[in-house]
Structures are given as structure tokens and as C-alpha cells.
Amino acid sequence: MSFGDPHNPYGPPPQQPPAAPGYGYPQQAPPGVPPQQPYGAPQQPYGAYPQAPAYPGYPGANMVPQSMPGLLVTARVFLYIISAVQIVVGLIWLYLAAIANDVSDAADDFSSSSDDPFSAIGDGGHIATGVLVLVALIALGLATLSITLGVKFGRGGQGVRITTVIYGALGTIFGLIALFAGLDSGLATAVIFPLLWVVFGAIITAAPVVPSGTAWFARPRY
């Protein structure tokens, strides 16, 4: 009898085909072939290390403003408006100083002695000229400060913020004094300009103090 006969009871048992893996079990991959991931499992590159979780953002990272807050933009516009007014006022005072100087020079030409009335007018004119020039220089200096603060809003830090708060507070105080004086006079025209000055000063003072303004001036700069 032949051992190759499948009906030979003394021969070796027939070879059974390999059993198929059950549903849901991972398939055995041939050597050199990446194993298949179960259905629904997150995929990752073969041979790559497990990805570490990302670091969470530091506290307040999402609170850094990307653009200038609206209240600061308004305060910056008010600073430019105030600087324009201060420039005009400074030029007016300079013009008045020039007139006073011309009057004093003319009085000196007509005076013949120190006791002459023209001599007193000339001396008073020179004093007035000096005072008017000083007031004009103060107005122009404040205009320069207003423009500088407005420009520095874009890149300035805590120094610009503190200076703006002090500047706005002083402007508000002087505006309130002028407003009370205008109310005592009873003239409507004497109240409008101080009232506008108080509003401008209050907004300039508050803009760097509110949380959005504080975060803007404390933001990192690269």
C-alpha cells in the first residue's frame, strides 16, 4: 500500500489548512510589513515614537491683544486733536507776543525820559512779551508731548502708559477748574470748551488703566 493514498489508515494524517483568524483580531503581517491597525484606532506612522501631548498655553496667553483696543485708539485720536489745538494756541500767543513787542518798541521810541508814560508802556510791553512767549512755548511743548504719546501708543511700554495717565489726569483737573469757572460766569460758550476738555482728559486717563489698555502696554515685544 502507498503512504500517498489518502484512504490509507496507516498513512500520515492529511494536512489541514491554517485556520483563519477570527473577526476583530489583528492580522499577522509578514516580516518587514507594518502591522495593520484595528479599525477605528488612531493611525500613526510605522516606526515613529508615540507623540507627546502638546504643552498647554501659559495663563493669560489668549488674552494678549493682537491689535490696539478701541478705547486706546480713541484716546490716541483725542491726543492728536488736543495737540492741534495746542499748536494753534501756541501760535496765537506767539503772534500776541510779537504785537506786544512792537508796541513796547514804539513806546520806547516816543519816550524821552524814565518818568515819561511811554517809558512805562514800553517796560510793560516787554514784560508782557516775555510772558506771552513763555505761555506760547508751554503750549507748543504740551503739543509735542501729546503727539509723542500718541505715536508711542503703538510700541510704548509702561513708561508711556504712566505718563499718559498722569497727563490725562492733569488735563482733566484743569478742565474741571475751567468748567466750574464757566458755570459761575453763566455763559454757555464758557462751558462748552472746558466740558470737551474734561471728556477728552477722562478718556485719555481711563484708556491705559482699563484691563484691555493694561494688557496692550504689557504685551511682549519682539
pTM of the model as a whole: 0.65
Q: Which pLDDT band holds residue 48 (cuts at 50, 70, 90)?
A: very low
Does residue 158 fall inside a structural domain? yes
Phi-psi region of 46 (alpha: psi -120 to 50; beta: other; left: phi over 0): beta
Strands (E), 60-203: none
Does residue 159 fall inside a structural domain? yes
Local structure of residue 190 (DSSP, 8 states) = H
Q: What percent of the chain has pLDDT over 70?
A: 62
Does residue 136 fall inside a structural domain? yes
Mean pLDDT of the chain: 77
Does residue 26 fall inside a structural domain? no
Q: Which pLDDT band holds residue 27 (cuts at 50, 70, 90)?
A: low
Local structure of residue 124 (DSSP, 8 states) = H
Does residue 40 fall inside a structural domain? no
Does residue 201 fall inside a structural domain? yes
Number of structural domains found in the chain? 1
Does residue 46 fall inside a structural domain? no
Structural domain range at position 76:
69-217
Mean predicted confidence (pLDDT) in 18-35: 54
Does residue 222 fall inside a structural domain? no
CA dihedral sign of residues 104, 108, 110, 116 = positive
